[in-house]
Chains A and B, each alone.
Chain A
């Protein structure tokens, strides 16, 4: 087997003039764009990303060539001593104020008459909320391997989207998709960091395997992964809120800017998700929202535990908490008055078909966290405090959000996905899906549903190896689709088997196909469609204390309550939410990726220490067994950042508006206060 090292661009923007390799030892060879037999790009949600940059360089560290050979240590030395000569141009790093050349996607939506509503509003409140890029820090680094398997190219990689990897490799090799077989390896916790990038590495491995005529493997070092693989996009959301005389929400003006780095492989999808989530869980009769996706010369950035909704939900929840405080009302009460109800009009124009369980969730959270008493006490202390050491610096924040699961909004995907199930003669069931199970226990959900439907033991249900030769295309495993769509397809396939069970001989095979009923359309400032199959609702309360001397925020408790429909595996679901809460807390407190920081930033980056974590309580509403299972994995990321920001603002008596908030930022904001 040959290993692969990547030769990367030394500049952030420019063009490649020449690549000078050192003398390569016997058994080693270079691979240039000209060695790619097919198309030198992969397509992701409509955007093209070069497999090896040929002329144009779009970010520092972009792959321009590969070196393949038997020893990785030698390869690393060869790659380091390869000279890439570029004509450097002035790179774009600025994104909060940007030029029209940098805009990758733009969308505008208007509902009602926001100008009139603002002109007659009793009060108008403004806020700008920013969140930084975050490293996914997945369980295993990115990598891929490829080898000839008789008449096929077999590719091994940990990917959320095996069929995307297959199609990308086929295009790169200039062969038919059936001549490529992707055999996904075990996928750890990925937080949507393995959506399209594994396809790029699969192409590197496949091209090297073909060029060398031997199996080839590429595994990024953690440092390469940290510096050059995709991250969570950075965002800035300006929210202007108009209130009526009674404090009711009458108008909103939202401007969203999202920095997706180079190429913007998920740009339109992220923007659509962010815009549809821009009113959060609240009914707003007059709304104007403008969204921009901005390209810069940093590594591609995009998904992180969802595809963009969390940017808006963070901003709108933090803003509602600030607005409620400004008019002297408990945010819990303000939210209760303004939350969506059954029949409320959504941004897409359709009426909400189900009631929002805000009151039930709030009751649980208040009972568990003593939110109301603590909020009133901390407000009193905040108003009476004369200095930093005058009483405890404590705050408590509440946030509420929904997770509309399963639907893609950019319209570039076929939205037709399949799951197959076979009941064998020994009454064991095999489920065939390309959906990646990950480490979140979703396989248990599928198995539990199938066992219950067919009345067989859990040990009789198996999930087939997700080899693209063996399983149908079930789409990318993101947006909690594994629960909201794949689980439903498993249920439907089992239902079809159940109906035929005593009428036809075993084995019985059934196929179920999901098609998006009404794709979203964006025309003339109007959004229409019915994109979400199911919406889970969740609330979070977070209490924290600031150290009076170091101003280090110390979370004291986190309480989550979720209406996730039918919870098939409660223990696993609670565990997944707790670990999501840990990651969300890390994003609030310290995790940050700065693409322009020195390479040493890698050594300073780390997850939140476990001993700093507060107790995390998770509760579920029990909606009954007839309700469908819903995706809930993104809810900690949708709710906790806003709850954290509100708690921090109350504790410090200062309106914070950006995350993460390490002590240095708090000290800088408070100054000598």
Chain B
């Protein structure tokens, strides 16, 4: 079947098989490998995407389920100002992940900051649990998200002032 939807801001359509998961479909039809289909049961969080603004694990979404919807993958998210804030915050705080969970961590942080611009350490750790990884140093992660929150607030404040 042909699935038409908005992918990273562009109208796209491609043929999907009935058994396709969104994560596999994105890779096969569009060459996007940011959403990694790893555990295939929604545990690992490596395949996070924004679906109509909500953070979802794309391995649990059937490809035909995005018809008419908007999908933002890590590749699209990496072009936004939110990503730049988070990347800078993580770098400043010294967040050094193994590299396999980085994209999911950034997207989880963005979803959290959208809901809670000044999150508490507990809220940060709750959100970051959606991308569990052995490389986790909780102290650095909290510091990274809090730094990103400050950078983001400053940017939004500057933009509102204009």
Contact = CB atoms under 8 A, between A and B. Distances in A.
B128 interface: yes
B98 A189 contact: yes
Given A137-B134, A139-B134, A582-B138, A610 B129 contact: yes
B116 to A, nearest CB: 14
B19 interface: yes
B140 interface: yes
Interface in B84-115: 94, 96-101
Contacts of A222: 38-41, 43-44
Given A139-B99, A439-B96, A610-B125, A603 B41 contact: yes
Nearest to B122: A611
Contact of A582 (B40, B41, B136): B136
Contacts of A548: none
Interface string B126-138: 1011001111111
Contacts of B125: 609-611, 613
Given A439-B135, A610-B136, A73 B19 contact: yes
B139 interface: yes
A513 to B, nearest CB: 31
B136 A606 contact: no
Contacts of A366: none
Contacts of B141: 610
A607 B39 CA distance: 13
A583 B135 CA distance: 9
Contacts of B17: 73
Nearest to A618: B139
Contact of A191 (B38, B134, B139): B134
A572 B134 CA distance: 15
A579 B128 contact: no
A373 interface: no
B135 A579 contact: yes
Nearest to A190: B134
A441 interface: yes
Main secondary structure of the interface of A (DSSP, over half): loop
B129 A579 contact: no
A50 interface: no
Main secondary structure of the interface of B (DSSP, over half): loop
A583 B134 CA distance: 7
Interface in A552-578: 571-572, 575-576, 578
A126 interface: no
B132 A441 contact: no
Interface string A181-194: 00000101101000
A77 to B, nearest CB: 10
A73 B37 CA distance: 13
A607 B135 contact: no
A148 interface: no
Nearest to A305: B134
A73 B28 CA distance: 12
A4 B44 CA distance: 23
A186 B128 CA distance: 23
Contacts of B122: 611
A103 interface: no
Interface string B119-157: 000100110110011111111110000000000000000
Contacts of B40: 221-223
A560 to B, nearest CB: 12
Interface in B47-62: none
A281 B130 CA distance: 39
Contact of A575 (B39, B126, B134, B140): B140
Interface in A60-100: 73
Nearest to B125: A610
Given A222-B44, A439-B99, A611-B126, A578 B137 contact: yes
Contacts of A583: 134
A82 B69 CA distance: 39
Given A578-B139, A611-B125, A616-B138, A606 B96 contact: no
A611 B122 CA distance: 6
A141 interface: yes
A54 to B, nearest CB: 31
Contacts of A221: 40
Interface in A107-137: 136-137
A607 B128 CA distance: 12
A365 B131 CA distance: 32
A138 interface: yes
B29 to A, nearest CB: 14
Interface string A138-179: 111100000000000000000000000000000000000000
Contacts of A578: 137-140
Given A610-B125, A613-B125, A575 B38 contact: no
Interface in B3-53: 17, 19, 38-41, 43-44
Interface in B65-86: none
Contacts of A582: 136-138
A606 B132 contact: yes
A141 B136 contact: no
Given A222-B38, A439-B97, A572-B96, A611 B133 contact: no
A607 B132 contact: yes
Nearest to A572: B96
A579 B132 CA distance: 12
A25 to B, nearest CB: 15
Contact of A613 (B39, B101, B138): B138
Interface string A27-56: 000000000000000000000000000000
A602 B42 CA distance: 12
Nearest to B36: A140
A610 to B, nearest CB: 4
Contacts of B129: 609-611
Contacts of B134: 136-139, 188-189, 191, 579, 583, 607
Contact of A139 (B96, B135, B137): B135
Interface centre among A136, A441, A605, A611 (most CB of B within 10 A): A611
A21 to B, nearest CB: 22
A193 B34 CA distance: 25
Contacts of A136: 134
B94 A439 contact: no
A579 B137 contact: yes
Nearest to A141: B38
Contacts of A223: 39-41
A102 to B, nearest CB: 32
A189 to B, nearest CB: 4
A188 B134 CA distance: 9
Nearest to B124: A610
Which 7 A-B residue pairings sit nearest by Cβ, starting from the closest? A188-B98, A610-B125, A439-B98, A189-B134, A139-B100, A222-B39, A139-B98
21 contacts: A139-B99, A139-B135, A186-B99, A189-B98, A189-B133, A189-B134, A441-B96, A572-B96, A575-B94, A578-B137, A579-B135, A579-B136, A582-B138, A583-B134, A606-B43, A607-B134, A610-B126, A610-B132, A610-B138, A610-B141, A611-B125
Given A575-B94, A607-B132, 17 more contacts: A139-B99, A139-B100, A139-B133, A141-B38, A188-B99, A188-B100, A188-B135, A222-B41, A222-B44, A575-B140, A578-B140, A582-B138, A602-B41, A609-B132, A610-B126, A610-B132, A613-B138
Interface of A: 73, 136-141, 186, 188-189, 191, 221-223, 439, 441, 571-572, 575-576, 578-579, 582-583, 602-603, 605-607, 609-611, 613, 615-616
